[in-house]
Amino acid sequence: MATKDLDPPLAVVDLAAFDANADDLLRRADGKPIRVVSKSVRCRFLLERVLRRPGFAGLMCYSLREALWLAGLGTSDDIVVAYPTADHSALRELVSDDRARQTITIMVDSVEHLDLVAAAVGPGRPEIRVCLELDASWRPLPGLHVGTRRSPVFTPRQAVRLAREVRARQGFRLVGVMAYEGQIAGVPDARERGALIRWMQRRSAAELARRRGAVVRAVRAVADLEFVNGGGTGSIETTGADPAVTEIAAGSGLMGPTLFDGYSRFHPRPATLFALPVVRKPGKGIATLYAGGYIASGPASTSRLPRPYLPEGLTLLGVEGAGEVQTPVTGAAADSLRVGDRVWLRHAKAGELAERFDEYHLVRDQHVDRSVPTYRGEGRNFG
């Protein structure tokens, strides 16, 4: 009822759920600071809201251009760019801005990245802060890779070799190490094959703790590290238990998307919803919604589709799914829906819903507290 005077499609954030999810992340982190992953939020107001809470410290951005924007606005004075950049103009902007250079740390995992930065900004540049990314995948057997395809740096020897290269090059300062354990943080363990997944995650976490510890000890002999970052919403407990890790990255757990419904260790509240209007009643047991093809990135599967949430008992049609201009839903509740009614849905991945809407309506106690722009609403496209 809070948004009854607003025309759908529209998106809301339940502030009580958002704050409760933030509290739960802190509980799970058990005292280790959480670096907020911006791509899971993509709304400056919400990023600033959570950063004001004790226990959250710094941002992890997904592009250098985004980091420069947020640094310039004063959203955070401690920003790590989680992915290597090939944006030459953004690199030149970084080295020309003293405050940005003190605030932003860029990611590297190869000598080629150092070469690219050097070529982009030229000789005699001021010092750039650098974080080394360690591949956190599990490789129990030759040729078997479990996890995301990220850094080529896997062993302590490879990490030290790159750390020495960073130290030897003028204009770079190695300040951190990062490892994202996607096979733990990003794989639900309470659904099909849950026992097998939990077995894999235990073995992977134990192997990574040994290897990451060895990498950090070896790199610390080369450079004075300020931080060692690890994790993701799904692996906070195991990442936080690793003594080598000084901070944990998390963001999706604030929003509670459907991909995080299938975890046994935590249960975030759905904080982000979107509403679509009913525009057709093509037959018994079916209502057709306007738009709705908000498909999340990743493997093309049903897990990436939005999911009807309210009224309860609705599902998508397997032969149509969620469409660009219409999305049919079926179920017992469909017959009670009238043209003009709205159906609430949840998105699969946290931050990507913000790419579809210019603003989030922030709901508290059954009314809209305020409406705030998403990145898209501020005219920012970092994809």
Q: What is the mean pLDDT of residues 91-96?
A: 97
What's the token pair of residue 133? 């990314």
Kindly report, residue by residue over 30-60, the tens digit of the pLDDT.
999 999 999 999 999 999 999 999 999 999 9
CB 301 within 8 A of CB 259: no
Kindly report, residue by residue over 219-247, the tens digit of the pLDDT.
999 999 999 999 999 999 999 999 999 99
What's the token pair of residue 92? 């030149």
At residue 383, does pLDDT exceed 80?
A: no
* pLDDT given at position 198: 93
Q: Is 7 exposed, middle or buried (0-12, 13-18, 19+ CB in 10 A)?
A: exposed
* pLDDT given at position 193: 86
* pLDDT given at position 124: 82
Which of 233, 272, 271 is closest to 251 using CA atoms?
Answer: 233
Residue 217 binned pLDDT confidence (cut-offs 50, 70, 90): very high
Q: Who's near 54: CB < 8 A, 6+ residues apart?
A: none
Q: Which of 31-40, 79-88, 189-198, 318-327 shows the lowest per-residue confidence on average (mean pLDDT)?
A: 189-198
Whether the full predicted model's pTM is greater than 0.85, yes or no, is: yes
What's the token pair of residue 101? 């250079």
CA-to-CA dists, residue 112 to 56, 235, 299, 311, angstroms:
33, 30, 29, 52
Kindly report, residue by residue over 130-162, the tens digit of the pLDDT.
999 999 999 999 999 999 999 999 999 999 999
Kindly report, residue by residue over 345-380, the tens digit of the pLDDT.
999 999 999 999 999 999 999 899 999 999 999 999
CB 110 within 8 A of CB 163: no
